[in-house]
């Protein structure tokens, strides 16, 4: 988190969702405690019923209104999980991609569609509007549910594609092309010098020497992965 703050800069407030026990443990770090005292970090507690013991549990949480309502009034959000990193050597910044309603590492068609949500920018108000019309819990549980509905990030991408065009004829959601998304984040599809990585040890094992040379910060997440 301290690394993300240093790369993002002071214009990006960081909100950390966790449990009281974890918060107490992290506060033993002097730099972390100082960031909280200086209002650079804000710690918020997850609801007691939030348990992340499976892919589906994580998806159900992210596809519920609680988080997105709690993050008001912010319009665009950078969501980063413990298995993602942004690179201080990148020539790009997160602000270069803030125009999109959803962007993350593009998913190899072998594994699905859309963008991985572990390091992603999302339009908070658009997400909440989608929840008024669609339910991830219901869609993903349907017997004939497409594979893309298994994970909330792919489901969200699919539902954004379903949005009606705007009055000017442009798509309802502004989504990047694959090349742009690769420059934002690399997971299953490779790109030189992206802004960030998601689970590089898992998906880019053969290129880790190159990854580490460009983005040594990946060492902080080398053992991190959600499921």
Q: pLDDT tens digits, residue range 124-140?
A: 999 999 999 999 999 99
pLDDT reported for residue 22: 86
Please give the structure tokens belonging to residue 84: 């993602």
How far is residue 194's CA from residue 181's CA, in Å, rounded to a whole number? 9
Confidence of residue 74 (pLDDT cuts 50, 70, 90): very high
Q: Is residue 96 over pLDDT 60? A: yes
Please give the structure tokens belonging to residue 176: 């990047």
C-beta separation of 71 from 79 below 8 A: no
Dihedral sign computed on CA atoms, order 189, 194, 195, 196: positive
For the 51-220 domain, the top CATH level (class) is alpha beta
pLDDT reported for residue 222: 72
C-beta separation of 183 from 195 below 8 A: yes
Dihedral sign computed on CA atoms, order 106, 97, 166, 71: positive
Of 67, 204, 41, 49, nearest to 128 (Cα)? 67
How far is residue 102's CA from residue 116's CA, in Å, rounded to a whole number? 10
pLDDT reported for residue 227: 40
Per-residue pLDDT averaged across 161-174, rounded?
Answer: 95
Q: Is residue 225 over pLDDT 60? A: no
How far is residue 61's CA from residue 57's CA, in Å, rounded to a whole number? 6
Confidence of residue 224 (pLDDT cuts 50, 70, 90): low
How many CA within 13 A on the CB side of residue 160?
Answer: 26
How far is residue 149's CA from residue 136's CA, in Å, rounded to a whole number? 7
Per-residue pLDDT averaged across 135-152, rounded?
Answer: 95
Q: Which of the pair, 153 or 25, is modelled with greater confidence?
A: 153
How far is residue 71's CA from residue 69's CA, in Å, rounded to a whole number? 5
C-beta separation of 84 from 119 below 8 A: yes
pLDDT reported for residue 223: 62
Confidence of residue 226 (pLDDT cuts 50, 70, 90): very low
- CA of 41: how far to CAs of 1, 5, 93, in Å? 9, 9, 20
Please give the structure tokens belonging to residue 213: 């040379």
- All residues at 6 or more sequence positions from 183 whose CB lies less than 8 Å from its CB, including other chains: 92, 191, 194, 195
**What are the counts of helices (DSSP H) followed by strands (DSSP E) for the chain?**
11, 8
Provide, rounded to the nearest whole percent, the portion of the chain with pLDDT above 70: 98
Q: Is residue 179 over pLDDT 80? A: yes
pLDDT reported for residue 117: 97
How far is residue 19's CA from residue 44's CA, in Å, rounded to a whole number? 8
How far is residue 85's CA from residue 200's CA, in Å, rounded to a whole number? 9
Provide, rounded to the nearest whole percent, the portion of the chain with pLDDT above 90: 87
- For the chain, the structural domain boundaries read 51-220
How far is residue 198's CA from residue 196's CA, in Å, rounded to a whole number? 7
């Amino acid at each position: 988190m301290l690394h993300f703050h240093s790369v993002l800069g002071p214009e990006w407030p960081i909100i950390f969702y966790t449990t009281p026990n974890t918060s107490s443990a992290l506060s033993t770090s002097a730099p972390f405690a100082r960031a909280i005292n200086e209002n650079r970090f804000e710690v918020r507690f997850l609801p007691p019923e939030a348990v992340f013991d499976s892919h589906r549990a994580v998806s159900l949480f992210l596809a519920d209104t609680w988080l997105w309502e709690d993050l008001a009034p912010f319009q665009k959000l950078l969501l980063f999980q413990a298995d993602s990193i942004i690179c201080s050597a990148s020539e790009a910044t997160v602000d270069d991609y803030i125009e999109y309603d959803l962007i993350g590492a593009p998913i190899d068609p072998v594994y699905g569609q859309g963008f991985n949500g572990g390091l992603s920018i999302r339009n908070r108000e658009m997400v909440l509007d989608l929840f008024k019309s669609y339910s991830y819990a219901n869609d993903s549980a349907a017997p004939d549910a497409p594979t893309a509905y298994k994970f909330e990030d792919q489901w969200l991408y699919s539902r954004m594609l379903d949005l009606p065009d705007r009055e000017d004829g442009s798509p309802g959601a502004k989504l990047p092309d694959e090349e742009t998304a690769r420059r934002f984040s690399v997971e299953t599809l490779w790109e030189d010098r992206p802004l960030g990585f998601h689970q590089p040890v898992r998906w880019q094992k053969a290129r880790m020497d190159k990854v580490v040379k460009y983005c040594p910060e990946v060492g902080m997440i080398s053992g991190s992965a959600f499921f």
